[in-house]
A = this chain, B = another copy of it.
Amino acid sequence: MREVEYLIIGVGTAGLGAYSRIRRKSKSLLLIQHGPFGTTCARVGCMPSKMLVTAGELAYSIDHGNYFGVDGDYKVDGKEVFARLKRDRAEKFVGGVLKAVDKIPQEIIIRGEARFVAENRIEVNGEEILAEKIILACGSSPFIPTPLSHLAAELDTSDTIFELDDLPHSIAVIGLGVIALELGQAFHRLGVRTTLFGHSGRIGPFTLPEMQSDCLKVLSKELDIVPAGKFTAARKKGSQFSLEFTTGNGETLVREFERVVVASGRRSNVLNMEIAKSGLKLDDRGVPVYNLQTMQCGNAPIYLTGDANEDLPLWHEAYAEGRIAGDNALLFPESKPVKRLVPLGIYFSDPQIAMVGKNIQSLIRIK
């Protein structure tokens, strides 16, 4: 059985943050990566989403240009929209990450899916590794809600939607969070018939009801949004999806779409790694309970960082968390609590939505 001092599971933003702190100071260090390199943010998250937003904004600006005295006309070349997205993503965003990964000695990276065997034992590709300290930086995966899960193989998520080669004629966007709003508005502006389906009526990052309702009002002026209700039937008929949705008012909508993209949140990948065998205390989501200021799970030599902790799925937070975890893994069994960044998130919808500081729900909890 291989034994190492440090084991980092996941070579994304958080894992690279931890690696930057540990690499010079460890006696032995291994990294495990499942799936493609390049980070969620750069490959299938915020960055490609903004690239689609840019094209959509351009079309929208031309549509409204006569107000400014610039009378324009345009044709959207869907093939080129996606070709450019993939080209810029590869060269500018993913490319940068791959350069960072290339600098890591390749013999310390294991490609495979890790799972816990015991608190300090990980199995990967049939091999067991005994690790003194483990950093869980394994990220998250798109979550497909139950009413649609039987169609999972046919639906799009952010993992697949940026791989399209052309624009669809119509698309249903499931979710009203950041990626859903950005994608939905971009597709709509690029001429795709688009409907956004929510669940609870909650839209955007807001937790204050008045802000939610204003946000819905403003975005609904342009977009077809069904904010609350549930899918009562969903099936694929030939090349079309047929969705039946019962709204909060009890009304039933039946609509057909060429594509359905699910952007209704992500779930920690620790849920796929037999985390119960780690012996860590789990919260009601099944995710280890950890300290926000040290990233440590209880008193164990295990640290939970980045999207894997389901806290703030943002590039800058993931990198900060990776570094905090790396520093504290070096200090184990000591721990140095680090004051966290002021929460900051931006939705590149139009109008843009930014949240800075704690939201109203957190403030109520603190009070």
Task: Please list the residues of chain A having a beta carbon within 8 angstroms of any beta carbon in chain B.
Answer: 54-55, 58-59, 61-62, 65-84, 190
Contact = CB atoms under 8 A, between A and B. Distances in A.
A83 B70 CA distance: 12
Given A61-B58, A61-B61, A77 B71 contact: yes
A57 to B, nearest CB: 9
A146 B77 CA distance: 53
Contact of A82 (B69, B73, B190): B69
11 contacts: A55-B70, A58-B62, A58-B65, A58-B72, A59-B70, A62-B74, A69-B76, A69-B78, A70-B75, A71-B75, A72-B72
Nearest to A80: B69
Which 8 A-B pairs have CB atoms at the shortest separation, nearest pair first? A69-B81, A72-B74, A69-B80, A55-B68, A58-B70, A69-B77, A58-B65, A71-B75
A67 B74 CA distance: 13
Nearest to A81: B69
Nearest to A74: B72
A66 B82 CA distance: 12
Nearest to A67: B84
A262 to B, nearest CB: 24
Contacts of A83: 69
Contacts of A84: 67-69
Nearest to A77: B69
A54 B65 CA distance: 10
A268 to B, nearest CB: 34
A194 to B, nearest CB: 17
Nearest to A87: B67
Contacts of A62: 58, 61-62, 65, 70, 72, 74
B65 A70 contact: no
A79 B73 contact: no
Most chain B beta carbons < 10 A, residue from A54, A58, A71:
A58
Contacts of A81: 68-70
A58 to B, nearest CB: 5
A33 to B, nearest CB: 32
Contacts of A69: 55, 76-84
B65 A74 contact: yes
A78 to B, nearest CB: 7
A80 B66 contact: yes
Given A70-B77, A73-B74, 16 more contacts: A55-B69, A58-B68, A61-B62, A62-B65, A62-B72, A65-B74, A66-B77, A68-B81, A69-B76, A69-B78, A69-B84, A70-B74, A70-B81, A70-B190, A71-B74, A71-B80
A29 to B, nearest CB: 41
Contacts of A79: 69
Contacts of A67: 84
A13 to B, nearest CB: 26
A80 B190 CA distance: 26
A76 B80 contact: no
